[in-house]
Structure 1
């Protein structure tokens, strides 16, 4: 059975950097993000790893793990939000005390999604794939991204509904300073391989393919055990997004997941928007088409999550009902 954390009003949020930290030149940005959390009524506690960054990580693996373990076990901290993703979170997994984790939300994406998926698979505790702290520093937050708080405030036994965005951000432009962090200019359209509409039901699992693929074959990526013991063999809806892989590497990674049995008892797949670099005229649409044909499952793509904002907040372990029609998508998550 999935265990859903609860987030109360005026909760304390712990900020730690199990992957990348924030270098000195970006501390003003970090300060703004912490201030926004205070304005929302939260108390913020920043760990020492947050304000350091060198050699592709905030600090050595044992240091990062120790701070994360401390926050995970501290009853006074109700939720953990890393500043952002990074590259080497996988180094901390072997040092995490999974047996003594307290049930609390962890929110993030990119490299953080590896931590989220590992925790849910190992413990049955739901985790939240959504914006990191630095995405929430704006004076104005769009409706899609801003749903993070409503989602993690949902109680066990209740449901929350999110709708596809109206617009998305084509490219990052840090020189264009506005009250909103994202500059949403392009028309959003959720797409389906070879279908005009689709309805899916199942338990959500997923994350950034670049990162979570490395859990295959480790003690932290036993999807079959999780499905049998926590989900009683309920079907899974996989949500996946690609940060930097070219399409050939994306294809290799998805085949690896398939061969490892990750897509067994799957009711469908969702892919978030991505820059998806083609390789030798091999496009992301080709990858999605091949996967849909091989698995004989619906494949949705260009959905609202991942590295092309804005993004919904998706809960690993939640029961999801997904509907897509005429480019619009609806996601209902039930905490049951």
Structure 2
């Protein structure tokens, strides 16, 4: 008997129907690689979501980029405020458009996330962005812009540090190797044991062993899950999905992964990487809560696809810079993410 469950499973794998929209998925746009960064280049700083509450935060971002050898330019509305947003939607979009149009600006970096990037997606001029490809860098709420712009234009975007991030040795090294040196690098967690008998920090947890290849896409789980059903997500077929989050109770992680499963996304990906879930606990009055490992195992193990957790991706001090749209191979046994090509031109 052809059960409803088997029908839904086969439908989720069908190549011509998107469960997230109910329509035939569009042909993915050709990948556009932004030019690599060079010493002396100008980086545009703007606030696409929450306001820049502190001028000191902006100054620290400028000084950090100056120490990296870059000049900076501030968006005209960088200090605007409209409630919990960094100014009106149209003005935040204007800053982004201005930087894409400005030929002296070679990369665009968000000061921080918060909430508000998804509000900008219907207002963006994607043709303008496609005509002026350049690096767009950020994480957290900036995931909405990274995914939306990549999905609409094919431009490689970067889940990497924001201006208010800690530009320490680890973060800077991966940033420079990816975006300045143009390496087709292999991202591998640190393995230092310190004076312990075994490694206790930044360990890799293999969920399902094996190798998988596909286009690398993903970002913040909360932001991504709230974009499902919109036209601003990429085709998920044959992708490596990476996710991260912060300050979410375990039941919410469960709920969001369930959403991805019901939307057919998890069944379409070739491999899965979960980064860090910072301060993700059981929550208050949560008697008998599942653990994060429980939730990942329940949702990911049945996919029978290479998967691991613990990668240096997320709301953490030491972070990888991760390009969206680049052909990648993951080794879930060793916990590595190997780019098969450079992310920049």
Q: Is TM (by shorter chain) over 0.5?
A: yes
1:235-250 to 2 correspondence within 5 Å? 235-250=238-253
1:322 is aligned, of 326, 330, 341, to 330
- Equivalent residue of 1:303, what SS? coil
How far residue 58 of structure 1 moved from its aligned partner, in angstroms, is 0.8
1:165 is aligned, of 190, 195, 214, to 190
Structure 1: where are the runs of 5+ without partners?
169-184, 228-232
2:83 is aligned, of 43, 46, 55, to 55
- Residues 137 and 159 of structure 2 are in contact (CA less than 8 Å); yes or no, is this contact kept in structure 1? yes
Verify: 1:103 aligned to 2:133, yes or no: yes
| Residue aligning to 2:294 | 286
How far residue 154 of structure 1 moved from its aligned partner, in angstroms, is 4.9
| Residue aligning to 2:74 | 46
Structure 1 residues 97-154: Cα deviation after superposition (integer angstroms, max 9, x where no partner): 1121021111110001111011111111110001111114x5xx12245311221235
| Residue aligning to 2:99 | 71
Query: TM-score, normalising length from structure 2?
Result: 0.80
Structure 2: where are the runs of 5+ without partners?
1-29, 194-198
| Residue aligning to 1:258 | 261
How far residue 165 of structure 1 moved from its aligned partner, in angstroms, is 2.6
Runs of 4+ with deviation above 4 angstroms? none
| Residue aligning to 2:33 | 4
1:130-279 to 2 correspondence within 5 Å? 130-136=160-166, 138=167, 141-155=168-182, 159-166=184-191, 187-193=201-207, 195=208, 197-221=209-233, 223-224=234-235, 235-274=238-277, 275-278=279-282, 279=286
- Residues 21 and 49 of structure 1 are in contact (CA less than 8 Å); yes or no, is this contact kept in structure 2? no
How far apart in 2 are the matches of 1:153 and 1:82?
18
Q: How many residues align?
A: 300
How far residue 15 of structure 1 moved from its aligned partner, in angstroms, is 0.4
| Residue aligning to 1:298 | 306
How far apart in 1 are the matches of 2:245 and 2:261?
16
- Residues 6 and 154 of structure 1 are in contact (CA less than 8 Å); yes or no, is this contact kept in structure 2? no
- Residues 189 and 302 of structure 1 are in contact (CA less than 8 Å); yes or no, is this contact kept in structure 2? yes
How far residue 164 of structure 1 moved from its aligned partner, in angstroms, is 0.8
- Residues 4 and 335 of structure 1 are in contact (CA less than 8 Å); yes or no, is this contact kept in structure 2? no
How far residue 186 of structure 1 moved from its aligned partner, in angstroms, is 6.0
Q: Give me the CA root mean square deviation.
A: 2.3
- Greater C-alpha Rg: 2
- Residues 82 and 88 of structure 2 are in contact (CA less than 8 Å); yes or no, is this contact kept in structure 1? no
| Residues 1:303 and 1:262: Cα distance change in structure 2 (over 3 Å) | same
Query: TM-score, normalising length from structure 1?
Result: 0.82
- Equivalent residue of 1:217, what SS? coil
How far apart in 2 are the matches of 1:144 and 1:199?
26
How far residue 76 of structure 1 moved from its aligned partner, in angstroms, is 1.9
